[in-house]
Amino acid sequence: MQAILSPPVVRPQIPTYIYAVVFSSLCIVWGLLWDIMWHMSIGRDGLFAPPHLLMYVGAVVAGLFSGIKILQLTFAKSHAERTHSVRFWGIFYGSLGAMYCVWGALTMLTSAPFDDWWHNTYGLDVQILTPPHTVLLVGMMTVQFGAMIGVLAVQNRVANQPAVGSRAEKQAHERLAKRLKIMFTVAAGLLLSILYTMLAEKLGEWASHHSSSYITMGIAFPFFLLSVGRASPLRYPITLTAAAYMLTMLIPSWILPFFPATPRLGPVLNPITHYQAFLFPLLLVVPGFVLDKLLHRFGKLNDWLLAVLTGTVFILVITVVQWYFGAFLHTSVYAQNRFFLSTSMSYSDDPGWPYHHAFHPHWLQTMPAFLKGIGIAIACAIVSARLGLLWGNWMKRVQR
């Protein structure tokens, strides 16, 4: 008698578009940071300035690869991945991540001529969140969210499929799962980098002794960090995501100042000759590690109780860390080097201004006012943490 062979097991693989959109996400973040440093060092840019081109590459690659994937799933009815896709507009099939990437890429490319018109009409930006930049940032975050969700869907499918077969097949399954965990951490760190950059004007070291900075942190970061911590199967996902964000932020600021740059737009108060670095990022890795530990120990608590615990601890830890580290960055001579970036100064800044390395009175508070602000920050962080846990519960179930 002939043995009856069981059908081969279809094992999940990482689609090519997943690699493409994570690469695109990196191009977008570094393009944005380069653009900020371009504005600090050179001033006026054009529609096709090098930093813009890097961002456009990210948008085009993300939109193109995701669009091709959607068309494959739409027209190839026997495609193995179609069972893990969602239908939209009654016609198209695709993963959630691919759809977000397409929408984000279109938004980014739409913002480009809008930004060029804005510069031609109103001149140089003095803020990060101008209307065209807001449209651009929404597109960027949509692409990056799509990358993160795309990786997460494959990661969840792999996690739900047990490793079976020969030893080699089990090892291949483990390698695939490990690669997906790393890619999810990288994608989450890149999205966190954009979130921080969007809020950087309120989070610089000059604001580290003002409660408004911690209120902003309490609103923005517990939501994101706890959603990642709840969704990722890694042992220390929040810590690793925060580390990925710090490296993403620091690498361009460490490298670009070695390259020449001279201002092209006046007034030039600080005649620089090289690129000026962006800010040293917040030390989110410290509260991130504490949050990971809390999730290990109290992860099975009611989510409201867990939100109260994690939100409160996040604000207390980040306040202590940034109060002292922000003061070090802003006032210490030991921070005035290329590592800590405190020598960075835009060409339009007056070198003689007395508050380059001292706290401006506007950014100082009395202790009662500061403590009141920290109380508000804790309340905001608790709500943010609860929403983050809720969002993380949804992300754990994403498989499409």
- Shared-domain flag, residues 268 and 313: yes
Q: Which residues of 314-338 are buried (b: 16+ CB within 10 A; e: fewer)?
A: bbbbbbebbeebbebbbbeeebeee
Round to whole Å and give the CA distance between 261 and 75: 50
Band of residue 3 on the pLDDT scale cut at 50, 70, 90 = very low
For position 2, what pLDDT does the model report? 45
Percent of the chain with pLDDT over 90: 42
Domain of residue 131 covers: 12-199
Is residue 382, in this structure, part of any structural domain at all?
yes
Shared domain check, 321 and 181 = no
Q: Looking at the domain assignment, is residue 145 inside a domain? A: yes
- Of 169, 199, 229, which one is at a domain's C-terminal end? 199
Which one of 199, 228, 251 terminates a domain?
199
The yes-or-no verdict on residue 10 having pLDDT over 60 is no
Give residue 174's pLDDT: 75
Residue among 247, 109, 105, 239 nearest 190 (CA): 247
Q: What are the pLDDT digits (tens) for 107-131?
A: 887 776 666 666 666 665 555 556 6
Write a three-state SS string for 314-344. HHHHHHHHHHHHHHHHHHCHHHCCCCCCCCC
Give the number of domains in the chain.
2
Distances (CA, A) of 235 to 230, 292, 359, 397: 11, 8, 39, 19
Q: Is there a single domain that holds both residue 307 and residue 364? A: yes
Q: Is 223 found in the same domain as 192?
A: no
pLDDT score recorded for residue 397 = 76
Q: Give 8's pLDDT tier (boundaries 50, 70, 90).
A: very low
Most confident option among 149-163, 168-182, 236-250, 253-267: 236-250
Q: Is 265 exposed, middle or buried (CB count within 10 Å of its CB: 0-12, 13-18, 19+)?
A: middle
Phi-psi region of 353 (alpha: psi -120 to 50; beta: other; left: phi over 0): beta
Check whether residue 108 and residue 251 sit in a common domain.
Answer: no
**pLDDT value, residue 5:** 44
The pTM for the full model equals 0.86
Residues 240, 336, single domain; the answer is: yes
**Averaged pLDDT, 308-318:** 97
Which of 164, 184, 199 delimits the end of a domain? 199
Does the residue 1 lie in any domain? no
Residue 1 has pLDDT above 60, yes or no: no
Query: Would you say residue 4 lies in a domain?
Result: no
Q: Examine residue 363 and state whether it is found in any structural domain, yes or no.
A: yes
Whole-number percent of the chain with pLDDT over 70: 84
258/374 same-domain check: yes
- The pLDDT of residue 320 is 96
- 63 lies in the same domain as 23: yes
Instruction: Say whether both 164 and 244 belong to one domain.
Output: no
What value does the mean pLDDT of the chain take? 84
On whether residue 3 sits in a domain, the answer given is no
Residues 244 and 352 in one domain: yes
Q: Omega before 267 cis (within 30°)?
A: yes
Q: What does the pLDDT look like over 246-304, one tens digit per residue? A: 999 999 999 999 999 888 877 888 889 999 999 999 999 999 999 999 999 998 889 99
Return the structure tokens found at 144.
Answer: 């990056």
Give the domain CATH number at 332. Answer: 1.20.1450
4 pLDDT band, cuts 50/70/90, is very low
Q: Are both 168 and 239 inside the same structural domain?
A: no
Residue 260 pairs in a beta bridge with 274
Is 7 within a domain? no
Where are the alpha helices (H) located in the chain, listed in sequence order?
16-41, 50-75, 96-122, 131-160, 167-199, 211-231, 237-255, 285-298, 303-331, 367-397
- The type of residue at 352 is G
pLDDT-wise least confident of 47-61, 145-159, 164-178, 185-199: 164-178
**Is 227 found in the same domain as 153?**
no
pLDDT above 80 (res 362): yes
Q: Is the pLDDT of residue 7 over 80?
A: no
Half-sphere exposure of 318 (CA within 13 A, CB side): 34
pLDDT at 96 > cutoff 80: no
Where does the pLDDT of residue 176 fall: very low under 50, low under 70, confident under 90, or very high at 90 and above? confident
- 360 domain-assigned: yes
